[in-house]
Amino acid sequence: MLDMVRKDSFRNGVHPPEHKDETSHLSIRRFPFAPVLVVPLSQHLGKPSVSIVREGQEVVRGQTIAKPDGFVSVAMHAPASGVVRRIALAPNINGDMVPSVYLQPHPASSQEVADGEPCDVETATPDEIITAIQRAGVVGLGGGAFPNQVKLKPPEGKRLDTLIINGVECEPYLTTDHRVMLEQTADIFTGIRYLLRATGASEAIIAVEANKQDAATKLQQNCPEDLPVSVRVSPVKYPQGAEKLVIKALLGREIPSGGLPADVHAICVNVATTAEIGRLLPRGRGIQERVITIGGPGVDRKGNYRIPIGTTVRFVLEETGAAKNISRVFLGGPMMGAAVSNLDIPITKGTSGITAFTTAETGEATGHQEVYPCIHCARCVESCPLFLNPSHLGLLAKNEEYEQMAEEFHLMDCFECGACSYVCPSHIPLVQYFRLAKKMVRKLSESA
Amino acid sequence: MSQLKKYLEIGSSPHISSGDSVEIIMRNVVLALLPVCVFAVYTFGTAVALVLATATFSCIATEHILCKVTGQRSTIGDWSVAITGLLYGLTLPPDLPLWMVAVGGIFAVAVGKFLFGGLGSNAFNPALVGRAFLQAAFPQAMTHWAEPLGDSRFVDLPGSTLAWPFAQPVYDAVTAATPLAEMKFDGIQAANRELLFGLSSGSAGETCAVLILLGGIYLIVRKMMNWHIPVSIFTTVAVITWLFNLYDPVLFPRPTFMLFSGGLMLGALFMATDLVASPITNIGCWLYGFLIGILVVVIRFWGGMPEGVMYAILLANAVSPHIDHLIQPRVFGTGKGAG
């Protein structure tokens, strides 16, 4: 019963304007190579990759240019055929300088990609698949950028029964997962084969939100007979796509505070990540580009583009016709995306979107609104999907009671979805407080 | 390369907001109170217009002056003090001397709100703090009620209205009994029709239950009022009264009389729901409403005064932080839900 929206949802949450119609009907297009591509060696959580190229070396598109350093790390691949100009520091989204490979593509660099050592889904062992995924440089493309092979290997003694393919994409403006589901349907099912085999889960569920009914229908119609896959459609609500909430909505299981999906025998993989695994592994290729939604009122040629990793935000905005009065640019969507302070930072594997706001939108955005004292209206309490008490946490943050926040009020469970700040009529920057508080708690526990 | 703006704003996510603000919420509460004010002027005449104007003005002026004196930006723009002023005015007897109205208004804001730290920190509903102060300071004036719909209500002012400060006010008419006083002292229950449409005597704003209810429903629909609180209060009062009424219909009034008489409507919908002084969780709000309901019934049935809504709410305000301390939402992944 696909056309029937099931009550697969969670409590609380918010309904920000979606703005998905602006790009959801636009097919994925290729993007030109920038004059210089900057490939950071650390695009994921965990240890940075180790460069295996030297300055001046010629590389072919798809060639491995860095190898993983340990298990919690992945490989990197050349996004274009060209010359390695230098290996030096480059700015990243956090404002840090990180070691990166500067690659100058040949003027005639084609979109052809070099094949590597294939991984056959029928014969490969789970460990071989996990190694192949690491070699392909796959990280969570939903934004987490966590090395994928790590979560595929459940902790000792934990059994996985359900693989959830997360195609919820609840962030406003973003439509990459939507397009990938429509255009890479076959890759997704191939990816699911690899993932089921690697994890030992007995069934897979593809989670989609009701605003992507066409994608859900297409997936349902093209589902191979022999694959234990179902498609479930959830009502539209932010942040439905959060791992904890998808698992709660579909399986009714609650990941314990501070726990992992494996604690409830589930694993959650982003749908674009799954599609990449299905596309890359049969040919032994690695991630050298990804689909990104370029949107927001500050962009003229909005759309979904397959953009080489290492392309700078500046190049992307210039190619897509950014407005003169753009005032705020962020990677991802407006609820969780990080604001860009330097347009010369490169796109990495975890970048799902670039959204540009103009002065017209930021005039009414959070930073420009008058901040009032908390009036205990409880809207934040009613929006928090994890049932935290943002109002009280905000009060504690202001008094710098960081330890109390963590110990008594579960601060560390907050995944910064932004629902509380979004609804706050006093415009208190709650998420900002919590981010700072979490940092302070980590610092305090390190020094203790 | 230079076509893009050189300076970008940065800021913490989320980069969008719902567009609601404290000011918008407060303005809507004032809007919801306006019909009640207009009707109060219609039933009690010019005197009530003056009482409401004096109450509102004294509250706003007090907040403005206190902000200025303490070197802060004036906070009257957030409209919260306008609500305090209107609500306070609506709880007063129509022919209360204006100087008393002003004194209570100053007390409401200075002590009930500013001393606690202003908006967001007031432990008690400031309007009720002002009224409680007057009740203690001027018990006679605070229990002198005019008849509604007097013939000359738009022509003459009651002699007491313009009484000189600290002079004994002179009343033109003998005091009329409120429905609650009639019930308590004479055992007479007013009809629902009189109570619902404000045809009985009482304080300026508590006589027309229908308009108060409509204002409350407007705010609940706009999600600017927590409906759990009034529903909890009404249910508690109705159920307890019904039980006593079953036991002795002469001594104890019928539930509808209890709901529609006195300040219960205004109190339950507009004062108990003071966001700052009420609990933050829904379960906490049920408990808080339950407490108010019980207190109202106990004071009305067995207290020395005919009305008890004000003290019931003030007492519950005092308990509210403890309710919040006691009842926290169950965090995802903890307790019985986990695993």
pLDDT at A4: 41
- B18 with A14: Cβ contact below 8 A: yes
Query: Considering only CB atoms, which chain B residues are within 8 Å of A330?
Result: 13, 15
Which residues of chain B lie closer than 8 angstroms to A316, CB-CB? none
State the Cα–Cα distance between residues A47 and A53, nearest whole angstrom.
18
The verdict on a CB contact (< 8 Å) between B16 and A16 is yes
Answer yes or no: is pLDDT of B189 > 70: yes
User: Which residues of chain A have a CB within 8 Å of the CB of B18?
Assistant: 14, 16, 422-423, 425
Comparing A170-179, A186-195, A354-363, B90-99, the range with the smallest average pLDDT is A354-363
Q: pLDDT, tens digit, for every residue of B43-77?
A: 888 999 999 999 999 999 999 999 999 999 999 98
- Give the distance from residue A365's alpha carbon to the nearest chain B alpha carbon, in angstroms: 5
Average pLDDT score, chain A: 91
Chain position carrying tokens 């108010």:
B292
* Amino acid A351: pLDDT: 93
Q: Where are the beta strands (DSSP E) in A247-318?
A: 266-270, 289-295, 303-308
**Alpha-carbon span A191 to B169, nearest angstrom:** 87
pLDDT tens per residue, range A40-97:
998 888 889 999 999 999 999 999 999 999 888 889 999 999 999 999 999 998 888 9
User: Per the domain annotation, does B12 fall within a domain?
Assistant: no
Question: How distant is the alpha carbon of residue A302 from its chain centre?
Answer: 19
Cis upstream peptide for A40 (omega within 30°) = no
Average pLDDT score over residue span A334-340: 94
Length in residues, chain A: 448
pLDDT at B337: 65
CB atoms within 10 A of CB B42: 16
Q: What is the mean pLDDT of residues A359-368?
A: 65
Residue B190 lies in a domain: yes
Chain A residues with beta carbon closer than 8 angstroms to that of B1? 314, 318
Q: What percent of chain B has pLDDT over 90?
A: 59
Residue B144 has pLDDT above 70, yes or no: yes
The answer to whether residue B252 is domain-embedded is yes
Instruction: Report CB contact under 8 Å: B9, A367.
Output: yes
Highest mean predicted confidence (pLDDT) among A130-144, A335-349, B140-154: A335-349
Q: What is the ipTM of this complex?
A: 0.90
- pLDDT at B137 (0 to 100): 93
CB A239 within 8 A of CB A12: no
Domain boundaries, chain A: 130-283, 370-447
* Shortest CA distance from B224: residue in chain A: A377
Instruction: Read off the pLDDT of residues B264-320 as tens digits, 9 standing for 90 and up.
Output: 999 999 999 999 999 999 999 999 999 999 999 999 999 878 788 999 999 999 999
Asked if B226 lies within 8 A of A378 by C-beta distance, the reply is: yes
Residues of A in contact with B324 (CB under 8 A): 392
In this prediction, residues A243-267 reach a mean pLDDT of 92
Compute the nearest-CA separation of A413 from chain B (Å).
9
**Cβ–Cβ of B15/A340 closer than 8 Å?**
no
Name A132's Cβ contacts closer than 8 Å, sequence gap at least 6.
A119, A124, A281, A284
Instruction: Give mean pLDDT, residues A264-281.
Output: 94
| Across A427-448, average pLDDT | 92
Does residue A154 belong to the interface with chain B, where contact is any CB pair within 8 Å?
Answer: no
Q: Is the pLDDT of residue B212 over 70?
A: yes
Pairwise pLDDT comparison (A32 vs B199), residue with the higher score: A32
Distance in angstroms (rounded) separating the CA atoms of residues A44 and A221: 34
List CB contacts of A157: < 8 A, sequence separation 6 or more. Answer: none
Judged against a pLDDT cut of 70, whether residue A6 lies above it is answered with no
Taking the Cβ of residue A69 and every Cβ of chain B, the question of whether any pair is shorter than 8 Å is answered with no
Number of domains in chain B: 1
| Nearest-angstrom CA–CA distance, B126 and B115 | 11
B-chain CB neighbours of A364 within 8 Å are 17, 19
pLDDT at A355 over 70: yes
Bond prior to A79 in cis (omega within 30° of 0): no
pLDDT score, position B284: 95
Report the residue of chain B nearest A433, measured CA to CA: B12
**Interface residue A359 vs chain B (CB under 8 A):** no
Q: Find chain A residues with C-beta within 8 A of B332's C-beta.
A: 244, 248, 254, 257, 385-387, 413
Rounded average pLDDT over B233-240: 96
Q: What DSSP line would sit under A87-142, residue for residue?
A: EEEEE-TTS-EEEEEEEEE-TT--S---------TTT--HHHHHHHHHHTT-B-TT
- The whole-angstrom distance between A241's CA and the closest CA on chain B is 16
Separation CA A33–CA A51 (nearest Å)? 22
Q: Which residues in chain A have Cβ-Cβ distances shorter than 8 Å to B226?
A: 378
Helix (H) or strand (E) holding A388: none
A339/B12 Cβ within 8 A: yes
pLDDT at B162 over 50: yes
Mean pLDDT of A261-267: 92
- Which range of residues forms the domain containing residue B267? 22-326
CATH of the domain at B196: 1.10.3430
For residue B10, tell me if it sits in a domain: no
| Residue B136, domain member (yes or no) | yes
- Mean pLDDT (whole number) for A367-396: 90
Pairwise pLDDT comparison (B107 vs A140), residue with the higher score: B107
Q: Kindly state the helix (H) or strand (E) to which residue A230 belongs, with its residue range.
A: strand A229-234
pLDDT over 70 percentage in chain A: 97
B280/A381 touch (CB, cutoff 8 Å), yes or no: yes
Q: Do A387 and B121 touch (CB under 8 A)?
A: no
Residues of chain A contacting B276 with CB distance shorter than 8 Å = 375-376
CB-nearest partner of B4 from A255, A314, A426 = A314
Q: Enumerate residues 6+ apart whose C-beta is below 8 A from A84.
A: A53, A54, A55, A56, A57, A58, A59, A65, A101, A102, A103
Is A430 near chain B, with CB under 8 Å? Answer: no
% of chain A surpassing 90 pLDDT: 76
Q: Which chain B residues contact residue A263 at CB under 8 A?
A: 339
- Put simply, the answer to whether B16 touches A253 (Cβ < 8 Å) is no
A337 CB neighbours in chain B (<8 A) are 13, 15
Q: Residue B133 domain-assigned?
A: yes
Given pLDDT bands bounded at 50, 70 and 90, which one contains residue B10? Answer: confident
Find the closest chain B residue to A429 by CA distance: B12
Q: In this complex, do A328 and B339 lie within 8 Å of one another by their Cβ atoms?
A: no
Q: How confident is the model at residue A366 (pLDDT cuts 50, 70, 90)?
A: very low
Task: Return the residue in B16, B224, B229, B275 with the most chain A beta carbons within 10 A, the one to mutate for interface testing.
Answer: B16
Does residue B8 form part of some domain?
no
Tell me, what's the pLDDT at A154?
Answer: 79
The mean pLDDT of A185-192, rounded to a whole number, is: 96
- Residue B126: pLDDT band (50, 70, 90) is very high
Is the CB of A339 less than 8 angstroms away from the CB of B15?
A: yes
The Cα A207–Cα A205 span in angstroms is: 6
Contact B13 A427 (CB under 8 A): no
Contact pairs from chain A to chain B, CB under 8 Å: 190
Domain range A130-283, CATH class:
alpha beta
Cα–Cα distance for residue pair A263/A388, rounded to 1 Å: 21
Residues on chain B touching A369 (C-beta within 8 angstroms): 17, 21
Put simply, the answer to whether B339 touches A381 (Cβ < 8 Å) is no
Closest of A30, A29, A39 to residue A104, by C-alpha: A39
Q: How many residues does chain B have?
A: 339
Q: Is residue B337 part of a domain?
A: no
Q: Which of A336, A389, A423 minimises the CB distance to B329? A: A389
Inter-chain residue contact B338 with A257, CB threshold 8 Å: yes
pLDDT of residue A215: 96
CATH architecture of A370-447: Orthogonal Bundle (1.10)
